[in-house]
Amino acid sequence: MTGPEAANRAFWDADADDYQATYGATLAAAPEAWGIWRIPEATVGALGPVTGLDVLEYGCGAAQLGLALAARGARVTGLDLSVAQLGHARRAAAAARQPLPLVAATATATPFADASFDLVVCDHGAMSFCDPERTVPECARLLRDGGRLVFSTGTQLCYLTWDATTGRQTRKLRAHWQPRWVVAADGGTVDVVWSHGEWIRALTAHAFTVDDLVELLAPPDARSTHDFAPAAWAQRWPAEEIWCATRRPRSAT
Ligand SMILES: C[S@@+](CC[C@H](N)C(=O)[O-])C[C@H]1O[C@@H](n2cnc3c(N)ncnc32)[C@H](O)[C@@H]1O
């Protein structure tokens, strides 16, 4: 592992305790929900029924989402490249008395056999931090025919209007649009902020059919402890989005 992925591991290993101290309770209070506003999956409907499915949470952190899906009858495996984050997941699974296999590996090179899963899911997980030219084919390899890839990420709009000089979200375009935009972030890590066209082309090229793109607005009563997209901004413009795609049958690719 080199470059941004190695930086990501170092960053998350160092930051895991602070991250979970800041956000863990909010995530655990609304585990089956999306993004910084914790919009319920029951409202969004991106995942559908999960009972009996083999599910991979792809960049699981403390696996709050994975544990909630396991409680609904899915067979969930959590994958993360940060051993410190996985320590939080292990303790959360033990506290919930929920068996949850956890695997330390980078999302671009996982140790699972082909066609191991029915659903690969992440909420601001590995899809947001790795090269989609590597994660998308890896997800296509891991999914069974007809399996689904569902992931949330930040929108280009949110990044385009971020003023890096003042550290504020604004209403003006502050950066040049780039189709395959990779934004330098804390500690040598990167945020992948590809355009919609690039995501559609990558997913389609690697055996997926795009089913939906759900743009998330902050609810009227939204509150968040994140410094990413203040509520007043995110009530007007979507700061987060959820991609939903289905793996095409291998016989058809
Ligand atoms: C913002 S957290 C989101 C996790 C969880 N959904 C949450 O809301 O806390 C991003 C997670 O992705 C993991 N991650 C980043 N790059 C990764 C990679 N290359 N492979 C696997 N996991 C990765 C990080 O270690 C971290 O746990």
- Ligand 1 atom closest to the Cα of residue 20 is 9
Kindly report the pTM of this predicted structure: 0.97
- How many structural domains does the chain have? 1
Could you tell me which residues come within 8 angstroms of residue 108 by beta carbon, excluding any fewer than 6 positions away?
5, 130, 131, 134, 135, 138
Instruction: For residue range 188-215, list pLDDT tens digits in order.
Output: 889 999 999 999 999 999 999 999 999 9
Output the pLDDT for position 5.
Answer: 87
| Residue indicated by tokens 């992925």 | 5
CA 89 to chain centre: 16
Cα(125) to ligand 1 centroid in Å equals 4
Which residue's CA is minimally distant from atom 5 of ligand 1?
A: 61
Ligand 1 interacting residues, C-beta cut-off 6 A: 5, 8, 12, 27, 59, 61, 65, 79-82, 85, 106-107, 123-126, 129-130
For 162-171, letters b (16+ CB in 10 Å) and e give beeeeeebee
Output the pLDDT for position 2.
Answer: 67
Tokens of 82: 């940060």
Could you tell me which residues come within 8 angstroms of residue 201 by beta carbon, excluding any fewer than 6 positions away?
none
Instruction: For residue range 119-176, list pLDDT tens digits in order.
Output: 999 999 999 999 999 999 999 999 999 999 999 999 999 999 999 899 899 999 999 9
Structural domain including 69 reads: 3-252
Which residue's CA is minimally distant from atom 3 of ligand 1?
A: 125
Per-residue pLDDT band at 253 (split at 50, 70, 90)? low
Domain holding 149: CATH number? 3.40.50.150
Are residues 203 and 110 in contact, defined by beta-carbon separation less than 8 angstroms? no
Tokens of 152: 């949330």
Output the pLDDT for position 228.
Answer: 79
